[in-house]
């Protein structure tokens, strides 16, 4: 069983999906990605999740993020389920759903947790950056639907902190002040962050979000 850790390269695979065959790395291209699994087709919580993701298409596109789902069921099942999702969630599923009947991708990404269920995937989430590196892993039980507003918040933080020498504090949202990373000496902060900063403690320095006008 594979173990994937933060900073690892996301394992590549080729798979059949509801939108044709994809090579995962080629499909991602220069985009960020979200790979998220579902216990099975025609399950109620998953139906609401996939509908939510479809409605968030514009938000993901703003962030240069491609989304791909996975279920252990086959393509014909996926196609029927997509019709139900579109009908019940008043949306249009416009991203691929991987058909993982043989469990190869589920095994590759350690999505099956035997003490939870021996055959069905848990609700795994992998956020992958534009260099194919795993930046975030979240695992939910099958009974708990995911919060996609939280995933957008996390992606905003990951993309911000990838390019600026900041970290984001608890409950941070896009537009809030950020933490200056410890590697920057207090004396050097003005040259790095011209918007100014507040020293709460020598190790806790706050600055306005640097990528906003």
Q: Which among 46, 65, 151, 160 is annotated as catalytic?
A: 46
Q: How far apart are CA 105 and CA 97, in angstroms?
A: 12
> HSE (CB half, 13 Å, CA atoms) of 149?
4
Q: Which of 37, 210, 187 is nearest to 108 (CA)?
A: 37
Distance (Å, whole) CA 82 – CA 76: 10
Contact yes or no for 27/68 (Cβ under 8 A): yes
Distance CA 29, CA 85 (A): 28
Is 178 a catalytic site residue? no
Which DSSP letter does residue 161 get?
A: H
Query: Which residues are annotated as catalytic?
Result: 46
């Amino acid at each position: 069983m594979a173990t994937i850790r933060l900073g690892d390269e996301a394992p590549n695979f080729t798979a059949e999906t509801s939108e044709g065959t994809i090579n995962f790395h080629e499909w991602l291209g220069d985009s960020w990605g979200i790979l998220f699994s579902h216990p099975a087709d025609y399950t109620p919580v998953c139906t609401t999740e996939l509908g939510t993701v479809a409605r968030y298409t514009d938000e993901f596109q703003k962030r240069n993020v491609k989304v791909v789902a996975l279920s252990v069921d086959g393509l014909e099942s996926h196609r029927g389920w997509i019709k139900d999702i579109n009908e019940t969630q008043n949306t249009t599923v416009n991203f691929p759903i991987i058909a993982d009947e043989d469990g190869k991708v589920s095994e590759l990404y350690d999505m099956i947790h035997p003490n939870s269920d021996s055959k069905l995937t848990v609700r795994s989430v992998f956020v992958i950056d534009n260099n194919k590196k795993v930046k975030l892993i979240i695992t939910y039980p099958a009974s708990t639907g995911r919060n996609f507003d939280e995933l957008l918040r996390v992606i905003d933080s990951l993309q911000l902190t990838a390019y600026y020498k900041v970290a984001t504090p608890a409950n941070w949202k896009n537009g809030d002040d950020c933490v200056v990373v410890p590697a920057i000496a207090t004396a050097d902060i003005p040259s790095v962050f011209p918007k100014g900063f507040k020293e709460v403690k020598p190790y806790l320095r706050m600055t306005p979000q640097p990528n906003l006008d």
